[in-house]
């Protein structure tokens, strides 16, 4: 009995002299999570810098007279100047070129918003025979590249006398399968009960579409507007084929024309590139919140 008591006393003394371990596994897990967070943020910062560097180099080259692409890029221009921008507007009617691209991009964006929203409403809210099949076939057209359609589209527009006209450049862009898909997915997330409540109040399809559906899909509309504007603004092949007159030239075609066969003034080319970036940057910054919401919510249903 005395021996058992002695062993118990020794165990108590050993436990008293042993440092308490509190939160060991939890502390290790917290350190692991912190390490992963630091690694993730480091990778994101490196990726952001890698994506931002070409734009920064473009700006620096446009401010460096006589700069070229065969030399190591300078992060800070030695003798910054706006001479390249002055020469750009002297060599090319750049104001008219920018106006042409802006006109085509704005019209394309507005018409695509209208056609995509109305078609998406039909595919989302109006039951008709073969709706799923028609929608699937329409989505399949997204797999056909523009290069395959250039020749038949050009022949068709030539038959109607629309070559070298703004209307000829705009007609193939008035409908987009991607826009219909994007807005249909957004409309599918709007509860049908809202439509039924509006119908009980005597609202028809047009009023439901205008007052119920559209206000609830504003993020998707903003996303489509940004994508449509960027697609038209950066379009090169189709305007190059269909627009022949120099006064109808668009910005990407004009920038390509600045590159000579033997020598190229890259500071002027980069100045034009900087100008071409500014409208897209302004539009994206204005609609950034809606774009993120629209892209995040598109595939939920």
pLDDT at 20 over 80: no
Query: Span 286-292, mean pLDDT?
Result: 74
In contact, 201 and 166? CB cutoff 8 Å: no
What would the DSSP string read from start to end of the chain? -HHHHHHHHHHHHHHHHSPP--SHHHHHHHHHHHHHHHHHHHHHHHHHHHHHHHHHHHHHHHTSTT--SSSPPPSS-SS--SHHHHHHHHHS-HHHHHHHHHHHHHHHHHHHHHHHHHHHHHHHH---TTHHHHHHHHHHGGGS-HHHHHHHHHHHHHHTT-TTSHHHHHGGGS--HHHHHHHHHHHHTS-HHHHHHHHHTT--HHHHIIIIIHHHTHHHHHHHHHHHHHHHHT--HHHHHH--SGGG--HHHHHHHTS-SS---HHHHHHHHHHHHHHHHHHHHHHHHHHHHHHHHTT--
Q: How confident is the model at residue 6 (pLDDT cuts 50, 70, 90)?
A: very low
Rg of the chain over Cα atoms, rounded to whole angstroms, equals 30
Q: How large a percentage of the chain has pLDDT more than 70?
A: 84
Average pLDDT estimate for 116-127: 93
pLDDT per position as a tens digit, 166-205: 999 999 999 899 999 999 999 999 999 998 899 988 888 8
**Looking at domain 92-297, what is its CATH homologous superfamily?**
MetI-like (1.10.3720.10)
Query: What residues contact residue 74 under an 8 Å CB cut-off, 6+ apart?
Result: 60, 64, 67
pLDDT tens for residues 22-46? 455 568 788 888 888 888 999 999 9
Q: Is the pLDDT of residue 298 over 60?
A: no
Stretch(es) of the chain classified as CATH 1.10.3720.10? 92-297
Tokens representing 42?
């480091």
**In this predicted structure, what is the pLDDT of residue 79?**
78
Q: Indicate if the pLDDT at residue 56 is higher than 50.
A: yes
pTM of the predicted model over 0.95? no
Q: Is the pLDDT of residue 5 over 60?
A: no
The pLDDT, as a whole number, for residue 301 is 45
Helices 131-140, 94-125: inter-axial angle, 10-degree rounding: 150
Residue 91 pLDDT more than 50?
yes
pLDDT tens-digit map of 124-164:
999 889 888 999 998 898 888 888 889 999 999 999 999 99
Look at residue 188 in the predicted model and tell me its pLDDT: 92
């Amino acid at each position: 009995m005395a021996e058992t008591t002695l062993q118990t006393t020794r165990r108590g003394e050993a436990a008293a002299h042993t440092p308490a371990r509190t939160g060991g596994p939890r502390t290790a897990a917290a350190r692991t999570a912190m390490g992963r967070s630091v690694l993730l943020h480091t990778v994101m910062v490196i990726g952001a810098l890698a994506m931002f560097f070409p734009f920064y180099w473009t700006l620096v080259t446009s401010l460096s007279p006589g700069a070229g692409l065969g030399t190591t890029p300078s992060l800070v221009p030695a003798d910054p100047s706006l001479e390249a921008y002055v020469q750009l507007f002297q060599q090319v009617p750049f104001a008219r070129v920018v106006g042409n691209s802006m006109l085509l991009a704005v019209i394309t964006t507005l018409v695509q918003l209208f056609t995509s929203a109305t078609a998406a409403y039909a595919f989302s809210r109006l039951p008709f025979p073969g709706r799923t099949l028609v929608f699937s076939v329409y989505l399949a057209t997204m797999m056909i590249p523009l290069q395959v359609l250039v020749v038949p589209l050009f022949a068709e527009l030539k038959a109607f006398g629309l070559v070298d006209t703004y209307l000829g450049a705009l007609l193939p862009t008035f409908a987009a399968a991607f826009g219909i898909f994007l807005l249909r997915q957004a409309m599918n997330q709007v509860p049908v009960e809202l439509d039924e409540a509006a119908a009980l109040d005597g609202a028809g399809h047009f009023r439901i579409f205008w007052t119920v559906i559209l206000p609830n899909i504003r993020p998707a509309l903003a996303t489509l507007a940004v994508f449509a504007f960027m697609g038209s603004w950066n379009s090169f092949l189709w305007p190059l084929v269909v627009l022949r007159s120099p006064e109808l030239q668009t910005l990407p075609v004009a920038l390509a024309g600045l590159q000579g066969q033997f020598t190229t003034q890259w500071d002027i080319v980069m100045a034009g590139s900087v100008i071409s970036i500014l409208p897209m940057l302004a539009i994206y910054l204005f609609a950034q919140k809606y774009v993120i919401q629209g892209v995040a919510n598109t595939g939920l249903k």
